[in-house]
Amino acid sequence: MSLRIYNTLRRKKEEFLPLNDNQVKMYVCGVTLYDELHLGHARAAVIFDVIYRYLKYQGWQVKYVTNFTDVDDKMIDRAQMLNLSIYQLTERFMGEYFQQMQALGVLPVLCYPRATEHLPEIIDLIKRLESKGLAYVSEGDVFFRVKSFPDYGKLSGQAISELAVGARIEINEKKEDPLDFALWKKSKKGEPAWDSPWGEGRPGWHIECSAMAMKYLGESIDIHGGGQDLVFPHHENEIAQSEGATGKTFARFWVHNGLVTMNQAKMSKSTGNFLTLREALKQYPGEVVRFFLLSAHYRSPLDYSQTSLKEASLALKRIHTLLDKINNLPKPQEHPPVQNEGQVSQFDRQIDNSFDDFIRALNDDFNTPLAISAIFLLVKKANLWAEKVESLNLYSYNSLIKVRDRIGQMGQMLGLFQAKQQKDGPSLESIKQLQEELAGIFKGKTPGEYFSTQIDQMKSLPPKQVIDLWVDYRNKLRRDRNWTLADKIRAKLAGYGIIIEDGKKGTTWRWSMRSRSDQEVADI
């Protein structure tokens, strides 16, 4: 069965084939860095991490980009309230983001672009729209003419005449039409601002994602994702400005995850009806939170209650109990009796059938609850098999080892059952792999004064010293406001269980007690 994905653009499941046979380009709208993450943010990150993992399992090279919005009205208000610059606010919440994503087992992506680092690309895109008559200047602001784009509304399925003014669209007398949206905003007194052909100001929210997606992935991409609350106006506006500028299809598949609710109401910071991810991770390990977030189909709403995480913990315990039992089995002698060989063959077929059911579920629009049910059915059969076998021989032992390996393989696609306790940090092999990936960040670039020790000389240093050097290099990059490279170093380190913490007294780092297995690290 081929992979089929529900495409919001056409409101149906469609067979997924990328533009390039060997590569998938995926962009997912990230978080706005003005406050703590809640379970809604965590769900989006985990869902698209599973999609990322599964696309890689299918054999595609995946270029996955997710952004940070680091300047908008909420950020400006929050920074002023805390007496911080938006850069300081960004650093604070970015640090928490990477730490919490690592706890959830979310793999690092290709890059995490920030809006404020891509002003030239944003300005160039606005100028393209202006030159085509799709944008106009009004008293220092620049707006997109919605009615000049005939396909506006195709993602949300609404005609322009029926569209109401939605979230983040303000009634503004400067506009020719209430539906027109801001591409560039003239700065107010005390707000951060950048030079532009239209005067000092800052980019609008929607244009940021189009500019960053096109810079890293090209003018046409395979998958664009985000929460259902972004369909209108954010993603609708992205389509209009991107396709208006290029004349090409911006994204072939639009994938949207359902929202997390609490007491049957939308989880939202503005209403106070939310549970922060930090609080959830204090109550339970990241794997439990991740399991809960995968317990419903990604397009369905997911309601959180006080018992939700407890139920997820108990369910996970059933699987881990079986895995621990198998791992502790003594290996029998090499010459077993063969009287139950037929039964073993039948059980082996059941193991393979469970795996096939798992793959079939993920091929059907990433149906994680159905995939998880295939794992539990296999656990049930394995427990029955272990009880039925009178004496463990090599045949039955190998079947149980096969169960363990299959569950591990399925878990790797879901980001579950992968963590192991490591008090001393990642292995030497993992550190070598990490060093190669970090060095790869600087390919084609001149590190120059950032490196007191040459990259090739670091191979002979102890792991702790290697990490110390990279953390030091990141700090130098941050002082020079080279946020892109600094963020890439942080993301790579987080992927290997190395958590960076920026505080008033400086930067420190620590090993995560639950760092990834060597196999998963090798797959990053």
User: Among the ranges 104-113, 134-143, 158-167, 181-190, which has the highest mean pLDDT value?
Assistant: 134-143
**Exposure string (b/e) for 400-416, b if CB count within 10 Å is 16 or more?**
bebbbebbeebbbbbbb
Instruction: Please check whether residue 349 is in contact with residue 410, taking contact to mean a CB–CB distance below 8 angstroms.
Output: no
The residue to which tokens 């997710």 are assigned: 66
Max Cα-Cα span within the chain: 88
Cβ burial of 87 (10 Å; 0-12, 13-18, 19+) is middle
Instruction: Examine the pLDDT at 523 and tell me if it is beyond 60.
Output: no
* Residue boundaries of the structural domains of the chain: 4-129+205-283, 319-418, 421-523
> Backbone phi, then psi, for 522, in 5-degree steps?
-65, -25
pLDDT, tens only, 456-483: 667 667 778 888 888 888 888 888 888 7
516 falls in which pLDDT band (50, 70, 90)? Answer: very low
Q: Which of 517, 519, 323 is nearest to 406 (CA)?
A: 323
> Backbone phi, then psi, for 9, in 5-degree steps?
-60, -35
Instruction: Please check whether residue 18 is in contact with residue 24, taking contact to mean a CB–CB distance below 8 angstroms.
Output: yes
Q: 492 Cβ partners below 8 Å, 6+ apart? A: 108, 434, 437, 438, 441
499 falls in which pLDDT band (50, 70, 90)? Answer: confident
Region 288-300: mean pLDDT is 97
Q: Which of 176, 179, 187 is nearest to 141 (CA)?
A: 187
Q: How many Å apart are CA 366 and CA 4, to the nearest integer?
A: 8
What local confidence, expressed as pLDDT, does residue 404 receive? 93
pLDDT, tens only, 160-198: 877 654 444 456 778 999 999 999 999 888 888 999 999
Q: Which of 28, 22, 98 is nearest to 62 (CA)?
A: 22
Q: How many Å apart are CA 332 and CA 277, to the nearest integer?
A: 45
- Structure tokens given for 443: 């390919």
Distances (CA, A) of 291 to 142, 145, 295, 442, 447: 44, 44, 6, 36, 41
Q: How many Å apart are CA 208 and CA 219, to the nearest integer?
A: 14
Instruction: Examine the pLDDT at 303 and tell me if it is beyond 50.
Output: yes
Q: Taking the domain 4-129+205-283, which CATH number applies?
A: 3.40.50.620
Region 1-5: mean pLDDT is 92
Round the average pLDDT of the chain to a whole number and report it. 85
Question: Topology of 319-418 in CATH?
Answer: Isoleucyl-tRNA Synthetase; Domain 1 (1.10.730)
Q: How many Å apart are CA 26 and CA 64, to the nearest integer?
A: 5
Q: How many Å apart are CA 330 and CA 437, to the nearest integer?
A: 38
One-letter amino acid at 370 equals L
Q: How many Å apart are CA 96 and CA 37, to the nearest integer?
A: 8
258 falls in which pLDDT band (50, 70, 90)? Answer: very high
